[in-house]
């Protein structure tokens, strides 16, 4: 099963979305491109098997809503909240926009990483990017692993 070409994903969706957020750069672009590749193979818009995760970045609605509460609850995040809000449309609930609004789905995934206090890993290290994804995004409870398959997806993101 195919998906979005990794180069198109990286340069036509991820990089511009992160640039508009003010949270771009090579490490972030590779991390978010790799995240879409490991979470959905850049192909699934809803989680297989009836799970709740939505969009290429497979974010669960509860996580989405928690991130909005975190942004809205702190004046230090007002600019970020405004930038993310500008990526939404008014006729679809925000959580549902993660399915088809790729800029917004990417932005929300980046917000998830933004709330982690550690610096992003080296942009050219697929092992480190994968480990960071697992710790911050997929978490200890997630089905993902730091293994050859997942590391290879981050290598693909770097090469794209």
Is 14 a member of any domain? yes
What does pLDDT average to in each consecutive run of 10 residues of the chain (160 residues)? 90 98 98 98 93 97 97 92 96 96 98 97 98 96 94 98
State the Cα–Cα distance between residues 153 and 72, nearest whole angstrom.
Answer: 33
Res 74: pLDDT: 86
Tell me whether residue 108 is in a domain.
yes
Whole-number pLDDT of residue 108:
98
User: CA-to-CA distance for 55 and 95, rounded, in angstroms?
Assistant: 10
How many domains is the chain partitioned into structurally? 1
Structural domain that includes position 77 = 6-159
**1 within a domain of the structure (yes/no):** no
pTM for the full predicted model: 0.96
What is residue 1's predicted lDDT score, i.e. its pLDDT? 52
Asked whether residue 79 is assigned to any structural domain, the reply reads yes
């Amino acid at each position: 099963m195919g998906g979005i070409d990794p180069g198109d994903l990286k340069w036509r969706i991820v990089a511009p979305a992160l640039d508009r957020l003010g949270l771009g750069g090579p490490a972030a672009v590779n991390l978010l491109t790799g995240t879409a590749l490991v979470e959905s193979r850049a192909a699934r818009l809803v989680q297989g098997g009836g799970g709740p995760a939505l969009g290429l970045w497979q974010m669960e609605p509860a996580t989405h809503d928690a991130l909005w509460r975190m942004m809205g609850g702190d004046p230090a995040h007002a600019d970020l909240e405004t930038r993310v809000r500008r990526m939404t449309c008014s006729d679809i609930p925000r959580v549902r926009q993660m399915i088809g609004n790729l800029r917004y789905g990417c932005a929300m995934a980046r917000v998830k990483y933004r709330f982690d206090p550690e610096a992003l890993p080296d942009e050219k290290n697929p092992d480190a990017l994968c480990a960071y994804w697992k710790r911050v995004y997929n978490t200890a409870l997630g089905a993902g692993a730091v293994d050859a398959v997942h590391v290879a997806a981050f290598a693909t993101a770097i090469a794209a």
